[in-house]
Amino acid sequence: MPGLVTYEVDENVALIGLNRPEKRNAINDALLLELRDVLAEAGDRVEAAVLFGHGQNFSAGLDLGELADRLTPEGQAPRKRRPRHLWHSTFDLLARGNFPVVCALHGATIGGGLELASAAHIRVADETTFFGLPEGQRGIFVGGGGSVRTQRIIGYPMMADMMLTGRILGVEEARRCGLAQYVTPPGGAVEKAKELARIIAGNVPQTNWMITNVLPRMNDLSHDDGLFMEYLNTSMTRPPEARKRLKDFLEKKAPALARPE
């Protein structure tokens, strides 16, 4: 019986699906634990991944029903805090793991669902996708890293607007502010994401790792420290595959670059 997260491997690309369609793929602890385990397993097997949602939506965010149960006077708080927030640790495993992730979006990409999408490296949205951060209207705050990741993508003014007013973004507005790098007709996001993931999987793994793990950390550094970090990474020993690719390019033997639209 399928779990809350589906997982299959197509050559060297993982296909990872949120699988609570009857709940609009709302995110709870059980789903996060399955997603964490899938990401850890895929890390040793694949070079890229596609993350998508089964059913009519990518994800409507936090399972508010389960949250409400914990907030009632009868709800039992854990005796001890977890060593690290489950949402943060799981999304960090996606954002700074061993392989790049292309997120295929459709329907509701709301709240925690948007925070999850923000942890991916490339986002493809079909024309049915809509984006929101309704936490301000729910009496809660973002809790899946959105205050860091989503804010860095769209900036404070847009994020404050979305959270304070409940503003919903359509797919073209989302593309303009960086939430979606690609837009497809309805139903086309997963195939486009697969196409991109296959291109990414063909890169040198060390380069992919630098792009997904080193590059985002540059935002946290000063100008001089960022340049020094860049110098350290360009000075690393190149794997044989990288040297071969450079030699093939210089000798005009390299294949033409893929040009996704």
List all residues 6 or more positions away from 46 whose beta carbon is below 8 Å from its beta carbon: 9, 12, 13, 14, 99, 201
Beta bridge partners of 49: 14, 101
| CA neighbours closer than 13 Å in the CB half-sphere of residue 86 | 15
Question: How far is residue 54 from each of residues 41, 88, 183, measured CA to CA in Å?
Answer: 21, 23, 18
47 labelled catalytic: no
115 labelled catalytic: yes
The three-point CA angle 175-180-183 to 5° equals 80
115, 173, 230, 251: the catalytic one is: 115
8, 74, 127, 135: the catalytic one is: 135
What is the number of other CB atoms lying within 10 angstroms of the CB of residue 127? Answer: 15
Report the SS3 class of residue 134.
coil
Please give the Cα distance from 22 to 16 (Å, whole number): 18
DSSP 8-state symbol, 218: G
Counting every residue written for the chain, the total comes to 261
Residues designated as active site? 115, 135
